[in-house]
Structure 1
């Protein structure tokens, strides 16, 4: 079964959504969309590091994404203005990454795969990396669910319950870094944030509880992955952007359902 490239691609997309559904819900609740972009853009610098040192691309991406996550978390704790800080770090990391890659021989023509993903080229090793990373993130979120949710809803309530909101925020940022490393092969650095935000935003309008929103976001993401691959096969469109297009269509459809429900 895994010898078929379309089956591997579908399993990669579905595996990724195990993590992006619940994690994307927290990104939406905490308004961390720009942070997701910053971490994703830093992934390109990780690609350059990996190519220059002959490390696996996933490992290089993970190292840089974790460094970005920790840096932003520390700066946030020191009271830095997040919009300015994230904007500076995101674009600087992307620019440094693109320039660094240009100095590595033989990868200039493959740059689009790192920017927009190449899910159709997912190997069995990539598949194991994707499912392993996504399962790790999902396990962490399930384990810390009540603490993460309490810290998200009200930091004062979290303190009174003996929960440190800064620690929970750091856990989320580290989980986000892992997802960025996992998702790079599937949708690319420029579209990772879209797969975190759009399915969660689509689920938000119709879900009745936080748990339902997280599960529904994963289902929407999985459906978008399969639908995007089908669109790519049918119309010969880029697979990564096609997945995001399907997620956006699901958002438009469910937004309409939510508006109709609110008006009745």
Structure 2
């Protein structure tokens, strides 16, 4: 039945990632960081390979490489290079090197599809604890810096005049994004984790008048989509990670229809 142990763990993991991704996704959308989040997520595959090579936890390897990629993109962009170009190079290069590195590990045999598209049904109690620990940390950071992040997002010049450093707030977003990517890689995979950041926020955006309401509703929708997607995958015997994204995508389409027909 649905509340079997592995399904309950999967549901808890999906909801945990969604709760953190919802509020963070607001800033990803407002700052137009969608490609930045994808580049960070793709780089996490290299972190998986490094973790397997040095026999350290997958979460730690994915987090370190995601942070490194995010900082590298920020540093290179600040030096005048085109941000779109740098993002593309980092995203594709890190993903390719990660896939090649995994194939060169002679004593390791893993299912790459699980890291690319998620393997939420295989999460352990330790994975659930890491996901919820990361989610609590992300939510705490966002709650602490929420007003400053909003100000830096709306107007960097006004933020500086008010004593808020836009660079520091960008650092907060970079760290929280890397944590969400590391948490989400086991749930929906490196190629789909960006969907949890973007789709719930984009779905609820037309119906919210305040940033706080948008963050809360995006988190709730992401959690609901994770639960429904997991149930659908169980019933239809299809991959869980893509099913979650499909459910969220259908919700987005429904919201567009509502926006078009409402007076």
TM-score (normalizing by structure 2): 0.96
| Distance across 2 between alignment mates of 1:215 and 1:107 | 41
Is the 1:38–1:87 Cα contact (8 Å) retained in structure 2?
yes
Instruction: State the shift of 1:76 in Å.
Output: 2.7
- Structure 2: where are the runs of 5+ without partners? none
CA 189–167 in structure 1, closer or farther in 2 if over 3 Å, else same: same
Aligned twin of 1:235: 236
Whether 1:45 and 2:46 are equivalent positions in the alignment is yes
Is the 1:73–1:173 Cα contact (8 Å) retained in structure 2?
no
Instruction: State the shift of 1:80 in Å.
Output: 2.1
Whether 1:133 and 2:134 are equivalent positions in the alignment is yes
| Distance across 2 between alignment mates of 1:175 and 1:86 | 18
Is the 1:2–1:124 Cα contact (8 Å) retained in structure 2?
no
Aligned twin of 1:148: 149
CA offset digits 1:91-132 (Å, max 9, x no partner):
000000000000113545511101011000110000000000
Q: Helix, strand or coil for the counterpart of 1:188?
A: coil
CA offset digits 1:104-162 (Å, max 9, x no partner):
13545511101011000110000000000011011000100000001111111111111
| Distance across 1 between alignment mates of 2:31 and 2:14 | 25
Aligned twin of 1:121: 122
Kindly report which structure 2 residues correspond to 1:71-150, keeping only aligned pairs within 5 A, or say none: 71-105=72-106, 107-150=108-151
Aligned twin of 2:248: 247
Aligned twin of 1:11: 12
| Distance across 2 between alignment mates of 1:33 and 1:108 | 32
Whether 1:171 and 2:172 are equivalent positions in the alignment is yes
| Distance across 1 between alignment mates of 2:22 and 2:81 | 29
Is the 1:73–1:170 Cα contact (8 Å) retained in structure 2?
no
Is the 1:206–1:254 Cα contact (8 Å) retained in structure 2?
no
Q: Helix, strand or coil for the counterpart of 1:187?
A: coil
CA 235–83 in structure 1, closer or farther in 2 if over 3 Å, else same: same
| Distance across 2 between alignment mates of 1:76 and 1:174 | 17
TM-score (normalizing by structure 1): 0.96
CA offset digits 1:191-234 (Å, max 9, x no partner):
01111111111111211111111111101100110010111011
What is the aligned-residue RMSD (CA, Å)? 1.5
Kindly report which structure 2 residues correspond to 1:22-37, keeping only aligned pairs within 5 A, or say none: 22-37=23-38
| Distance across 1 between alignment mates of 2:154 and 2:168 | 15
Instruction: State the shift of 1:75 in Å.
Output: 2.0
| Distance across 1 between alignment mates of 2:112 and 2:131 | 20
CA offset digits 1:40-74 (Å, max 9, x no partner):
00010000000000011111101101111111122
Aligned twin of 1:54: 55
